[in-house]
């Protein structure tokens, strides 16, 4: 069977801190290298025609369980990344979307994210969705709470309209780097019928060739939807 090009690729970008440890550098340098990797993968996604790329940048658990200094460093890196790479993303025709509880982030981070979204709103080649302060269970509870206010039954499509990803196709494939084989609370509803691809490659070492290997694992564009 022929490989197919996925419309929507989702990636759990894992392994930045282990990469930093391996190379004997500060953990934040691993995350910084990870940002550079993301930009290269965006460029490759545009080159081969992927229309949606969704990445897990910072989970709700990250914010709760990591030290305050590390969280602040990660948020500063997010601000730096959106600012530094904005021209490159614009050149690639990328449109930016952020999902998660962004409103609880520092005002400076919110402002930079919103500015980047506004600057890239004309992008037509690929939609880059960055999950920040995101959790799949939290997203599902949020959607359910929005709908149960009316106290009447609702359909799957009505439920999906309340998700952060409303209007986007579900991912054809979810890729996780770094060796762990779990979804870690990422796109739990949306990935119900997605192909899952796990690689031992740490995220900073992930490249166009590795993305190609993941895509080659997709043998058919037809989903059985549980049958």
Annotated catalytic residues are 14, 62
88 is in an annotated binding site: no
2 is in an annotated binding site: no
61 is in an annotated binding site: yes
For the chain, how far is it from start to end, CA to CA, in angstroms?
Answer: 20
142 is in an annotated binding site: no
Q: Please give the backbone phi and psi of residue 12, each rounded to the nearest 5 degrees, phi first.
A: -95, 105
- C-alpha dist (Å) from residue 60 to 4, 26, 28, 57: 33, 23, 19, 10
18 is in an annotated binding site: yes
95 is in an annotated binding site: no
36 is in an annotated binding site: no
For residue 135, the number of C-alpha atoms closer than 13 Å in the C-beta half-sphere is 9
Packing angle of the helix pair 68-84, 27-48 (nearest 10 deg):
40
Report how far residue 225's alpha carbon sits from residue 40's, in angstroms, rounded to the nearest whole number: 33
Judge contact between 194 and 174, C-beta under 8 A.
Answer: yes
176 is in an annotated binding site: yes
Q: Which residues are annotated as a binding site for substrate?
A: 15-19, 31, 59-61, 66, 176, 182-184
Residue ranges for the binding site for Mg(2+)? 14, 195
């Amino acid at each position: 069977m022929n490989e197919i090009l996925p419309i929507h690729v989702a990636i759990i970008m894992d392994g930045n801190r282990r990469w930093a440890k391996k190379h004997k550098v500060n953990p934040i340098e691993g995350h910084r290298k990870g940002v550079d990797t993301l930009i290269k993968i965006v460029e490759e996604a545009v080159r081969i025609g992927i229309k949606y790329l969704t990445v897990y940048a910072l989970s709700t658990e990250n914010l709760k369980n990591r030290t305050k200094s590390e969280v602040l460093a990660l948020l500063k890196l997010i601000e730096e990344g959106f600012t530094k790479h904005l021209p490159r993303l614009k050149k690639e025709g990328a449109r930016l979307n952020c999902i998660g509880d962004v409103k609880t982030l520092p005002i400076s981070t919110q402002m930079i994210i919103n500015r980047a979204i506004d600057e890239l709103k004309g992008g037509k080649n690929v939609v880059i969705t960055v999950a920040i302060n995101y959790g799949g269970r939290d997203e599902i509870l949020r959607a359910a709470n929005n709908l149960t206010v009316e106290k009447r039954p609702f359909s799957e499509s009505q439920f999906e309209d309340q998700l952060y990803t409303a209007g986007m196709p579900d991912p054809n494939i979810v890729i996780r780097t770094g060796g762990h084989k779990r979804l870690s609370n990422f796109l739990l509803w949306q990935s119900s019928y997605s192909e899952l691809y796990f690689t031992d490659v740490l995220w900073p070492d992930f490249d166009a060739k590795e993305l190609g290997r993941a895509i080659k694992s997709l043998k058919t564009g037809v989903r059985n939807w549980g049958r």
